[in-house]
Copies of this chain bind each other. A is one copy, B any other.
Amino acid sequence: MKTQKKRSDCPVSFSLEAFGDKWSLLIVRDLMLKKKCTYGELAKSDEKIATNILAARLLSLEENGIIKKLEHPDSKAKVLYQLTQKGMDLIPIIVEINLWAEKYTDIPEKRKELLAQMNADKEGFIKNAFKELESNL
């Protein structure tokens, strides 16, 4: 686990040091909501992350204990990326970010069902997401 000089002892600052950039939470989103789990799949995100940046962010997320690398069951050429418990605990944050965005921008069709679930039963959505992710552990 990475040890960096903390900017302050504020919990918000601590969190932002782990995932406060333009890419980390998108990777977490893909692992969480989009069931992507390999480098190649993550590289194909709509936001078109550069491969060197993806590699750097994956390393940083791993050093921060948010994701872990595993052997892929299908092939030795592949790597399986998974959220750790610490990573799964980001679900409530991702949910709130989605709900905030919903208030201030148009949500694409393909995402509306998920948003509807979050709105209808936030706690239930979070519990269910946990359950699904934990089945992979």
Interface bin, chain A: 35 or more
Q: From DSSP, what is the main secondary structure of chain A's interface residues? A: helix
Q: A14-B105, A46-B9, A105-B11 in contact; A22/B25 too (CB < 8 A)?
A: no
Check: A136 CB closer than 8 A to any chain B CB.
no
A93 at the interface (CB under 8 A from B): yes
Task: Give the CA-CA distance A47 to B9 in the complex, in Å.
Answer: 9
Residues of chain B within 8 A (CB-CB) of A111 are 10-11
Contact assessment for A98 and B47 in the assembled complex, using a CB-CB cutoff below 8 Å: no
Produce 1/0 per residue, A78-120, CB < 8 A to B: 0000000010011011111111111111111001000100000
> Can you spell out 18 A-B residue pairs with CB atoms less than 8 angstroms apart?
A8-B45, A9-B46, A11-B105, A11-B115, A12-B94, A12-B97, A13-B26, A15-B98, A16-B22, A20-B25, A89-B104, A90-B100, A92-B96, A93-B93, A93-B96, A93-B97, A93-B100, A95-B96
